[in-house]
């Protein structure tokens, strides 16, 4: 099963979400991330890398722009916000029926907080939020 996490720039939330799920080492689950407005080849933010390193998760990341190829590849697409979901569904008709807000799929309200420009503490809070939501979806996607 292929899981794609999507945020805005693919430097904060979606790389952390991908690292969290990949770190679970679930059999037959491949994980990628992308952004709706990414600068391809950019590293994850320094704060995101620091938090991932603290948690013992891989910090190697180069941002990717959402593409037809990634949409085709994915079985599940999880966005951080309703706006990301709407952008994908309007731009990529093939994403319909497999795109969900991450919190919506986990039957939680709200959107995943964007830590962009915040302190390492802000990134830690977003990481914890992502970890909790991903725990809630793991059983549903197995």
Please report, for the domain that includes residue 134, its CATH number: 3.40.50.2300
24: annotated active-site residue: no
Distances 60 to 1, 46, 137 between C-alpha atoms, Å: 22, 11, 24
In this predicted model, what pLDDT tens digit does every residue of 103-119 receive, in sequence order? Answer: 999 999 999 999 999 99
124: annotated active-site residue: no
In this predicted model, what pLDDT tens digit does every residue of 78-101 receive, in sequence order? Answer: 999 999 999 999 999 999 999 999
User: Residue 56: pLDDT above 90?
Assistant: yes
Number of domains in the chain: 1
114: annotated active-site residue: yes
Instruction: Considering the candidates 7, 12, 32, 49, report the single residue annotated as catalytic.
Output: 7
Domain with 136 in it: 2-141
Instruction: Considering the candidates 12, 13, 32, 49, report the single residue annotated as catalytic.
Output: 13
Instruction: Considering the candidates 12, 25, 28, 114, report the single residue annotated as catalytic.
Output: 114
Of the pLDDT bands very low, low, confident and very high (cuts 50, 70, 90), residue 142 is confident
């Amino acid at each position: 099963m292929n899981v794609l996490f999507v945020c805005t720039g693919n430097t904060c939330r979606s790389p952390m979400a991908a690292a969290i799920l990949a770190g679970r080492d679930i059999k037959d689950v491949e994980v990628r991330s992308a952004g709706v407005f990414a600068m391809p080849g950019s590293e994850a933010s320094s704060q995101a890398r620091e938090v991932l390193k603290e948690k013992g998760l891989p910090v190697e990341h180069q941002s990717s722009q959402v593409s037809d190829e990634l949409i085709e590849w994915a079985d599940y697409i999880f966005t951080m916000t309703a706006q990301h979901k709407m952008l994908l569904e309007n731009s990529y008709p093939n994403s319909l029926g497999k795109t969900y807000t991450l919190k919506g799929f986990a039957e939680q309200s709200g959107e995943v907080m964007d830590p962009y420009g915040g302190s390492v503490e802000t990134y830690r809070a977003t990481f914890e939020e992502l970890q909790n939501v991903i725990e809630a979806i793991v059983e549903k996607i197995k």
